[in-house]
Amino acid sequence: MKLELHRLNVKKLAFGTKTGFADGTLTVNKSELLALIAEDPLLGKNIDADLALPGEATRIMPVKDVIEPRWKISGKGQVFPGLLSDVETVGEGKTLVLSGCAVLTAGKLVRFQEGIIDMSGPGADYTPYSKTCNVVLVLEPSDPNMDKHDYEAACRMAGLKAAAYLAKCCADVQADSVQVCEMPSIREAMNAYPELPKVGYIYMLQTQGLLHDTYLYGVDVKRILPTLISPLEVMDGAIVSGNCVSACDKNSTYSHLNNPVISDMLKRHGKDFNFAACIVTNENVTLADKRRSSSYAVKLAKMLGLDGVVITEEGFGNPDADLIMNCRKAEQAGIKTALLTDEYAGQDGASQSLADSCPEGNACVTAGNANEVIHLPAMSKVIGYPQEADVIAGGWKGSLADDGSITVELQAITGATSELGYTKLGAYTL
């Protein structure tokens, strides 16, 4: 498979009469964008769109998802297949990417499981989305008593439609750069680089239900057994977030599209190891389902003859059990593992970091302690609903001070402890 990502480098945003791109600026026709979103009868009449640029004294909250604008300009399928487009397989052809730009969906959905993005100040140092030029959709339901699942679906589709619209309007502009990505077939991969270890990626997706959902080609991943997927399909929009989980380690649609584990493994392919396979698996609620999925994922790794796997988690607590089952079973099958997770070690850092562990899990990368407390100074502009600071996960009653400043745990900051490593935190062993 061969995928070309044609990138336009967005450095500024502006509202104007026609949506398009020129000289580093993405101009957005606000009325046209809102009319597109308002086609959904599940969304209220008071929806709005705003712009937020890096370095501005702007706070955005509560943020549900972050999506990178993309549009396929040639090849099979279209972006976000199974949701926004037909279910044709993606991962090949040419896709336009508005690099440096993001669509944010904001609004009171589950309330305690959305996040905060500050475009400047100390909070900006913890979220990667303080460096993107953000088109923010402020959404509300048409009926305040609407079923939460229906409202989540409406918010999810609004973000995807906006992202595709923005990129489609720029489809005729010549790219600033072209990134070419290739991935061999399984048959070719099995015979390539015999002197190098065969390494795979076990990609855990949050699928616990009750709005803890992720979609693969439009299918709720809790409904599938672990399966093989090309990394290029991931880079082309096959995985979409539907999650309302703690903001710090929620894998946004943006972070799936730009998964740094996949990116780095492709760069090291043929040099340090043979990147042979990507296995998507789910995070379950019942013990039987956890056992089934972990055994099946490791079975696929064994069938492919993998020597090692990188395993990434999404979320914390209950999913820690899935992470450790995947680790232990892989190690017992003779497959070396490296784990990527974050920690909930208490505000003092002295509590147990994970809800589960095993002796085999001795190669683990941390994305940080989500319970660390941070003070966010007041901003001159707030897009959304600042009062949600008192109920958001990582906050508490009184988190929002009278002067507009907020004191919360990192748990409340979108992407602060991303377990894909799409974060600004780093660590080293003493």
- Whether residue 361 contacts residue 327, with contact meaning beta carbons closer than 8 Å, is answered with yes
Q: Give the distance from CA 354 to its chain's centroid.
A: 21
CA pair distance 14, 29, nearest whole angstrom = 9
CA pair distance 42, 44, nearest whole angstrom = 7
**Residue 356 three-state SS:** coil
Active site residue 244: yes
- Whether residue 323 contacts residue 356, with contact meaning beta carbons closer than 8 Å, is answered with yes
Q: Which residue in the list 133, 169, 181, 244 is annotated as catalytic?
A: 244
Helix (H) or strand (E) holding 199: strand 198-206
Q: Is the peptide bond before 377 cis (omega within 30 degrees of 0)?
A: no
- Whether residue 324 contacts residue 357, with contact meaning beta carbons closer than 8 Å, is answered with yes
CA pair distance 198, 189, nearest whole angstrom = 9
Q: What is the DSSP letter of 189?
A: H
CA nearest to 9, candidates 73, 91, 75, 96: 96
CA pair distance 141, 125, nearest whole angstrom = 32
Q: Which residues are catalytic?
A: 244
